[in-house]
Amino acid sequence: MRSDSSVVDDRVQHGVRLLHDPLRNKGTAFTAEERDALGLRGLLPPAVQSMETQVLRVMGNLARKDSDLERYIFLAGLQDRNETLFYRVVMEHLPEMMPLIYTPTVGAACQHFGQIFRRPRGLFVTADDFGHVRSVLRNWPHRDVRIIVVTDGERILGLGDLGANGMGIAVGKLALYTACAGIHPSQCLPVTIDVGTENENLRKDPLYVGTRRSRLRGEDYDALVDEFLAATREVFPRAVVQLEDFANINAFRLLRKYNEQYSLFDDDIQGTGSVVLAGLLAAMRVTGNSLSDNRFLFLGAGEAGIGIADLIVASLVSDGMDAEEARRRCFFVDSTGLVVNSRENLAEHKRPFAHDIEFVSTLEEAAEVIRPTAVIGVSGVPGSFTEKLLREMAEHHPHPIVFALSNPTAKSECTASQAYEWTGGRAIFASGSPFPPVDYQGKTFVPGQANNAYIFPGVGLGAIVSNSNRVTDEMFFIAARELASMVSEHDLGLGRLFPSLSRIREVSARIAVSVAAHAFERGYAQAAEPDDLVQTVQDFMFVPEYASFA
């Protein structure tokens, strides 16, 4: 396993400049010998303190903050000053830290991005950079970039178009790549393609940090994305690109256009599908059924919903079912109503799941017709899983599956306590954002979070270690099955469909090994196949320990 010094090999700075380098700064942990050698004598308080003492200070300061947004700001400041300490804190306290550095708090951080802006992080590419994107990318100080998370900010979580404020999402996702899968911080690059925003309030906000114009569309938008990806391959040839929070009008077509040209994937489509499939596979151990015994009713027919359904279909097909028959297990309700063949002007990505049944306009009506065993919410419409809906599901099924996946928490289709109460404690529940344990009739349920962080870090790590020139749907199917296999009987007994977040690096490593093995087997890998792939993955993973400068 690697520490800072094995990747960051630039000449060591001295004095104040070293203290301002977040990748090398150790703060009060610099030894007396290092202070003499590096020109730090007098620039630090005289006490030499261990990282354990520094972590104690951070956690104490964090506890004194009044809100999660203030805690987010504090942690971002720590990341800007001392990345090694930041990741030690995050990794040692991951169940507490993940909701602060990513969902749900990152949603509020993006909404208030201009107000809380302190120091730039990542690269902003705008339409004004057309023809010069390579030069922009070369301004990044680190050459060995292995993972890029890029967004255009048009569909941030369930919050809509936040424009350049979406950078908070790219930064947060990459923090999880490091914390959960050990990608070195210097190998992570967050990018926002700022092509404007349709959010009029943002354009009028004097503190907005982005371009104040309507969104670039059509051929000009496509040309900018084309140039960005071509420039990425040239400047960072070993990088995997993750598309993040693009709107439906672009997400599906960009994925189709580029996924065979680049080592690229869309986490909202493929990562979400993978983690939810893993949860469903684990749920089958509770119901005693197989996936083919279920009828899935989705609320929301965008990237997440279609991505989930596509992987459900892939799983059923792998078990021997005809693809058309597998698609007939999945039904969608969008903003108009039930997705059926008789509807005109259906978006292309919805057509494979349009069935020859009668149109109804509401989710409750659709449930009466379909009698689903599982409802999966990816709508961003809070409270849409009503008491009537869940009680009727519980009348027909001993263990109704209720996945309320919209982020952040305020957008969830129902709460964990509602799901358990309205089904008599029989729901198999998962959510997109975390909910606290629920006490119901003498039993404590620990609801599972269908967090993409169980999937994308491991998939990315596997693609990086193998230097795969593709990131395929099959890799996400492999990841789902690997994750489901790691859910213990203890987890299921608590009502949790996923392993404890404390095991996330173990989860990521196992997924990475399976994904890399697949890349080598299928000929996607450009790296030499190692004798011991498990050890190679472990050796690649960054551990937040201070380097010695003595």
| Active-site residue set | 102, 173
User: 185-221: string of b/e by CB count within 10 Å (b at 16+)?
Assistant: bbbbbbbbbbbbbebeebbeeeebbbbeeebbeeeeb
Q: Are 511 and 475 in contact (CB under 8 A)?
A: no
Q: Phi, psi (5° rounding) for residue 524? A: -80, -25
In 223-308, which ranges are E strands?
Answer: 240-243, 264-266, 296-299
Q: What is the DSSP letter of 320?
A: T
Can you tell me the distance from the alpha carbon of 40 to that of 228, in angstroms, rounded to the nearest whole number? Answer: 41
Can you tell me the distance from the alpha carbon of 11 to that of 14, in angstroms, rounded to the nearest whole number? Answer: 10
CA-only gyration radius of the chain, Å: 24
Place of tokens 């399976």: 514
Cα–Cα distances (Å) from 323 to 278, 290, 313, 352, 405, in that order, read 20, 17, 7, 10, 25
Can you tell me the distance from the alpha carbon of 116 to that of 128, in angstroms, rounded to the nearest whole number? Answer: 25
Helix (H, G, I), strand (E, B) or coil at 370: helix
Strand partners, 537: none
Strand order in the sheet with 240-243: 123-126, 188-194, 147-151, 240-243, 264-266
Helix 272-287 with 303-318: angle, nearest 10 deg: 50
Helix (H, G, I), strand (E, B) or coil at 439: strand
Place of tokens 């199917």: 477
Q: Report residue 251 as tokens.
A: 């997400």
* Nearest in space to 475 (alpha carbons), one of 232, 187, 266, 177: 266
Largest CA distance in the chain: 79
